[in-house]
Structure 1
Amino acid sequence: MEQTRSEILKTIPYGFYITGVVGADGEVNGFTTCWVSQVSFEPQQVMVAVRKDQHSHELMEQGGVFSLNFLDTEQEDLARRFTRPLESENGAVGGSPYKTGETGAPLFEEAFAHLECRVVGKLEAGDHTVYLGEVAAATLDRPADILTDLDTPMEYGG
């Protein structure tokens, strides 16, 4: 039964994003995430689930802001890079340059679109925390199709 539930849960399609965070001391980080969804029209809000054992979870708690950086169908390598711990230096995380957004969250330049959010709520969900973010700013650098788990052998779920 557990195996069946896991296999069914793995069939839910997800986009891949780099979630950017900044800590109270200005430390910047990013990580690949796929558990993301819009949850409200007015105000515009999204939710993102973050593993509690990630360093980025601590930064999200401190900074209270995050960015969603949208990846296109040709950026699987970038999504894979951000699945592991990366160093932040000289305006880049793991070699990926970013600019600082209106909220202070990093906007990764390789992404085709960005949402900046302020955390307005959270819910403990087992080994993750679900953060509710109100959209504060948005940029679209170019039209593109979002990278999803259907485009790659990568999976996160089950």
Structure 2
Amino acid sequence: MNPNVFRNLSYGVYVVSSLDGDRNTGCIANSIMQITSSPATIALSMNHDNYTNSCISRTGKFAISILSETSDPGLIGCFGFRTGRDVNKFDDIDYTVKEGLPIVKDSCGYIVCRLIDKMEASTHTVFLGEVIDGDVIGSDPAMTYSYYHKVVKGKSPKNAPTYLPQEDEPASDSGAKWVCSICGYVYDGDIPFEELPDTYACPICHQGKDKFLKTGDS
């Protein structure tokens, strides 16, 4: 089987939020789909290791912020490459509250769901949520996972359903590349990487210049 065929399926990029007691928490997800129209029902796949998974199970509700092509890529680093067990991911995020759950303002829409059922797979939980609120924010197109890989130049977190192990392999094409060891962002700016200031930070996960590794031929 060639796992790359799954990349031909359509995915978005979303911040899924819930509550850890009174504290906001959330993570990046890409496997979300509407499965019925009346009542509107959403299916969400989330890895067992994601802290947000247990929070959804405890609170019985979750919200989806739909990222757009103009959303700050740092949102993906914040929610996709850190764990809510250790940090409050919403500390520096501009958000509003709908139906008691945090919604990222830098998005093109949101959906709030009440958990009605769930199914356990070997590594993931599939949550079913009945939609209780939702709206469009602005007019920017939604970010697809293809756009994230090809334009934003990020990689899938290892907990994502679409993660492929070869994403962590060094680039095989000619020419040296500087790659963020945290989120996989490939620097392709006009200024040689060595000449960037020491204050340079990855645009996705905001890690420092020292977290970049040189791959490929020199």
Q: Could you tell me the TM-score, scaled by structure 2's length?
A: 0.64
Q: Which has the higher contact order (CA 8 A, sep 6+)?
A: 1
Name structure 2 gaps, 5 residues minimum: 150-154, 165-218
- 1:61 is aligned, of 41, 57, 73, to 57
1:81-92 residue pairs with structure 2 within 5 A?
A: 81-84=78-81, 85-86=83-84, 87-88=87-88
The one of 4, 7, 12 equivalent to 1:7 is: 4
- Alignment coverage as a number of residue pairs: 150
The structure whose residues are more often strand, as a share, is 1
Q: Equivalent of 2:76, from 59, 74, 79?
A: 79
CA distance in 1, matches of 2:36, 2:74: 31
Distance of 1:150 and 1:10 partners within structure 2: 8
For residue 105 of structure 1, the aligned residue among 94, 101, 104 is: 101
CA–CA distance in structure 1, aligned partners of residues 92 and 104 of structure 2: 10
C-alpha distance 132-81 of structure 1, shift in aligned 2 (>3 A): same
- Percent of residue pairs identical: 20
Deviation by residue 1:78-118 (Cα, 9 ceiling, x = unmatched): 22321122532xxx71511322212x221112222111000
Residue type of the alignment partner of 2:118: K
Give the Cα separation in 2 of the matches to 1:41 and 1:64: 21
Structure 1: gaps (5+ residues): none
RMSD of aligned C-alpha atoms?
A: 1.7
Q: Distance in 2 between matches of 1:114 and 1:135?
A: 10
Flag as ranges the 4+ runs of structure 1 deviating above 3 A: none
Contact 2:108 2:141 in 1 (8 A): no
Q: Judge conservation of contact 2:113–2:131 (CA < 8 Å) in 1.
A: yes
Q: 1:152, CA displacement in angstroms?
A: 2.2
> Based on CA coordinates, which of the two structures has the bigger radius of gyration?
2
Q: Map of 1:9-158 to 2, 5 A cutoff?
A: 9-23=6-20, 25-75=21-71, 76-84=73-81, 85-86=83-84, 87-88=87-88, 93-102=90-99, 104-153=100-149, 154-155=155-156, 156=160, 157=162
| Contact kept in structure 1, 2:27 and 2:50, CA below 8 Å | no
